[in-house]
Structure formats: C-alpha cells, structure tokens
Chain A
Amino acid sequence: MALMAENISLHISGFNLLRDVSMRVEPGTVTAIVGPNGAGKSSLLKVLTGEMIATTGQVSLNHQPLHTWALEQKAKMLAVLPQHTVLNFPFTADEVVALGRIPHQTGILKDELIVADALKAVDANYLQKRFYTQMSGGEKQRVQLARVLAQIWEPTQLGDQFLVLDEPTSAFDLSHQKLTLEIVRGLAEQGTGVVMVLHDLNLAARCADNLVVFDSGTISAQGSPEEVLTEALISQVFGVKSIIAKHPVTQKPLVIT
C-alpha cells in the first residue's frame, strides 16, 4: 500500500501549477521534495493531501482514491503539518497536541500519555503547560510537530500511515533540525511513509530514501540522493554552480556551493 499520485495536473485560473506529476510514497520510506521557490511544491502537497483536487489524474491512499475515504478515517492514516499555523487562542502546549487525538476515540487517559510522549519526542516536554501564544517560532513549530505525531502515534487497522511535512525545519536551530530528521527516520523505521518539502539539499540528501526534484510544476528528477544530485541538475534547476562531494562520515552526497 502507498500514497500515490498518478499523472496529476492542476490548473487554476489559467496557470498550470502542476503538469503530469507521478510519484509514489512507500510506507517505511522518507521522500524529500526539493526545488526552487514557486516551483509548485506546496501545490503538490495540497493535492497529495486532498486539500485541492487535481484537474486531471488521481491521488490514492492505500489503494483507494483519496477523496473516497471518510474524513475521519483519512485523518487516522494521513497527518499533515503545514508550514505556518496561526493560532491566536491561549491554549497550552498539551492542549494543542491533544487536538491531534480528535480523530481517535481512545479515551482521555490514553490520550494524555500519548500527548506527553509526543511532546517529549520533540524535546518540548518543558513547554507542556506554557501558553502557545507566548512561545517562540521554533517552539510553536515543535508543538505543532508533536500534534501531527500524536495524530498517527499508533498504527491503525485501516492501512499504512503517512506523514506530510511542509518545510518542518524552517524555524529550527541546528539541534532541532537534527532532532526532526531523527524523528522522521524513526517513524520510517516503524513503517510510516514520510513526505516532506525541504529547502536544504544537504538535509534532504542525508535523510531521504527518495529525492524528488521539482521545477516549474513538474518533476525534473527523482531517485536516491546519490543518483539525483548532480552538478548538472543543480545548475539546471537552481541556476547555481556547485560541487558534489561526499560526506566524510555518512558517505551521502554533499552539495557545496
């Protein structure tokens, strides 16, 4: 089973935002989407998560068209973290994370445990009783990450689970960037399929099994980081001259500009 996009295109008010995009997110793998600003990465995520309906083509979740899943069932399998979440009300961190348990009927006691564990996983258990409105940008983003983790904390009988993240590390310092990638790898090891948009090519190379390079509404290249990241591609897509080296420890490609 998988989260799959087949030949999707998206036309909105005369613009071709996506053109004939096909990709497949396998459970237990991490897919990173990279590409220049305005390439259509966010539109792709919106179509993948059912936020927008593709003009042509189809998105399916676990062998069933995405829009035919009941909303609550879909929510048990697919959690989505947007780039920004505006919340003007003084919820405490654990109340925000508890919102992630809305699709589940597991009872307050169990939910409390999951909320606490999720906060601990993102190194935010010290925020538990703090007000969301008084946190820093990075703290807010970590609490939101904990919220989507809580949403797919336990496997469901319905099918494989997927997590979609839109630039999860943009507000984070170095240590929390690293932590996020560790969380993502850990989820993949437990069988979750992860898709995320990243800006940092080296972060993407370090943690993705499948790297999708996106440009002008379509996929320029996809495959393992080693296959995809070439000097020619980077100059073609980003218009930047670069050198591809090897990371001395992880042996992953390292893009030096």
Chain B
Amino acid sequence: MFALGTGTVNISIVDIWQAIIGLFSSGSSSSSSNFSSSSQIHTILFDIRLPRILLALCLGVILAISGAVMQGLFRNPLADPSLIGVSGGASVGASIVIVMAGGWIQSGSALGLSAVAAGAFAGGFIATILVYRLATSEIGTSVTTMLLAGIAIGAIAGALNSLLSYFADNDMLRQISLWQMGNLSTANWSRVAMVAVVAALLVGLFPRDSRALNALLLGESEARHLGIDVQRVKRRLIVLTALGIGTSVAMAGMIGFVGLVVPHAIRLLIGPDHRWLLPGSALAGAILLIIADSLARVVVAPTELPTGILTALLGAPFFVALLIQRRREI
C-alpha cells in the first residue's frame, strides 16, 4: 500500500482505495464527477505501479531463494549470484540474444522477452557450472577460488558485453544499457506474468530439496552416505538457479546482493535449516526488493534511481562486514 502510494506523483491512501473499489465496480464509478483525475490515478496505479511492485515482489523472491540455494550448494555463505559471475554470464547471454535476434525483439513482445530470458538462462547456467567446477573440491568450496573464478567470469562477461555493445546499433545499445543498470521501470503485465511463473516454479520446487541441501552442507560424500542422490540434486538445483537468475537478469538487469544479504539475515534469525531458510528468504527478499524499489523511485524524485544501484549500496557494506567477521573467526 505504501509502495503503491509513493512515487513521483504522490497518491493518497484514500485515492488508492477509491481506485481499488473503482476497479471492482468499474461501470458505476467511472461515471463519477472527477473522471479525468480518477482515470489518471487508475493508470498510474494499475498500469505502472502495481506491475512494478509485483515485479519487485517476484524478483525479490527469485533472487533471495536462488541466493539461499546457491549458498547451500557451494557450502559457503558468501556465494551470491552477482559476486560469482552468474549474473555476468546471464547478462552476456541476454546481450547476445538482443544483438543477434535484432528486429523482432525490440517490440518488447512476450516472445522477444522469452528469447532474451532463454539467452540469460543459458549464460547463467554455463557460468554456474564453470564456477562450481572450478571452486568445488572434495573438502568443500574454496572461497578464494570461488571469488576469483567470479572475477574471471565477470571480466570475460564484461568484455563480451562491451564487444556486443560496440557492434550493436543505437536501438540495441539503448536496450542493453537500460537493463544492465538493474531497473524495474520497464515493468508491464506480460513481464510480471513471466516472472511470476518462474517465481512460482522455484518456490514450488526448491523446498523439496531442503533436506538434501541440509545434508549437502556436510559435504558431497557425507550427503551420499545419507542416501542423497547428490548428482541429480545438484543438476536440478543448478538448472533452477540459472533459470531464476537468468530470468531476473533478463527482466531487470543486475540487481546485486539481494541473494547474499537476505539469506544471511534469515540465517541469523532462524538458523541454517533449509526447510525454514528457503521460505523465509523468499518472503524477506520480496519485502526488501519492494522497499528498495519504492525508495529508488522517491529519493531523487522526479527522476528515478536504478534499483540495482540501491541494492548494491545497501549490500556491499554488508558483504564487507561479513568478510571482516569471518576473518576474525579464522
């Protein structure tokens, strides 16, 4: 409700209620006296803000739950899609699709969007597998290798992105740079629908592997001795996280640190058991991203900050604090 009300144009709660009531009894209220103003409010609320809030909600769920799963998979609480190059890989995949497929994507049609999402998924998938192979050994994941692999993949992704931008024409360039900033302002109902499907898929499927994830925290061979089919669980989780990160990158560019900060906060609150951690993270991620996006819309009104900038500003200090804390433990 707060998120609906805030923005460049402030809308009072009373007006929001009127608009919502108006929606359900459309015939009668649209003939009311201040017709033009109420239809304007209607447009702002239901065509601009509501899809955006729902997009933030779904993306928050996807990012946070994928982050939680990834940290379990890597057996390391510092794994985050944006830090270990997965988002980078996904953005390269999306760029390639935008540049290669050219014309028919620019319409912003659902088909074009799914193509970009598929590209981002493929990129994210390759990056995840690369980092996982590089960083994971029998005794667990080496933080150093993981972060270095992330830097390497990030660098390659950056170079490829620049290369693609270099060859892209104006329209494509605008498209590429727009979503690279991590922006939710392109929200519309078809995007919301797509993201909602992916979010529902992840929320439905991830919790079934909670116990397997718990066992995996002990190590792969220990999990196998506990009767977990580690290869299959791993493959499933990697495909699903890549799908989640790929979709979120395709829809809103790089929104960093949500996947790092949220699972951490939840772990501090309710412990590392994935049976509670996954739903907790999903909920908190949704809340955090809605708040961050609402702030992004108002702090420099009448213009807007890309949401990715805000989450990075909030998340980076948190990450540094974590590193310091871990150094003290060792």
Contacts and interface: CB of A to CB of B under 8 A. Distances in A.
A85 B219 contact: yes
A82 B217 contact: no
Interface string B192-226: 00000000000000000001001101110110111
A174 interface: no
Nearest to A90: B272
Given A71-B229, A99-B214, A85 B222 contact: yes
A91 B272 contact: yes
B75 interface: yes
A100 B228 CA distance: 12
Given A90-B272, A102-B211, A49 B225 contact: yes
Interface residues of B, number: 24
Interface in A75-105: 75-76, 78-80, 82, 84-92, 95-96, 99-100, 102-103
Q: What is the size category of the interface that chain A forms with chain B?
A: 20 to 34
A90 B229 CA distance: 24
A51 interface: yes
Given A86-B139, A88-B77, A90-B272, A75 B219 contact: no
A60 interface: no
A151 interface: yes
Contacts of A100: 226
B309 to A, nearest CB: 31
Contacts, number: 69
A29 B272 CA distance: 38
A91 B222 contact: no
Contacts of A99: 214-215, 218, 226
Contacts of A86: 75, 139-140, 219
A72 B228 CA distance: 7
Contact of A82 (B221, B227, B228): B221
Interface string B59-78: 00000000000000001110
Nearest to B220: A51
Given A88-B75, A89-B77, A91-B271, A103 B226 contact: yes
Interface string B134-175: 000001100000000000000000000000000000000000
Interface of B: 75-77, 139-140, 211, 214-215, 217-219, 221-222, 224-229, 267, 271-273, 329
Interface of A: 49-51, 71-76, 78-80, 82, 84-92, 95-96, 99-100, 102-103, 133, 151
A-B CB proximity, top 10 nearest: A75-B227, A72-B227, A103-B227, A89-B272, A80-B225, A71-B227, A86-B140, A102-B226, A89-B217, A51-B221
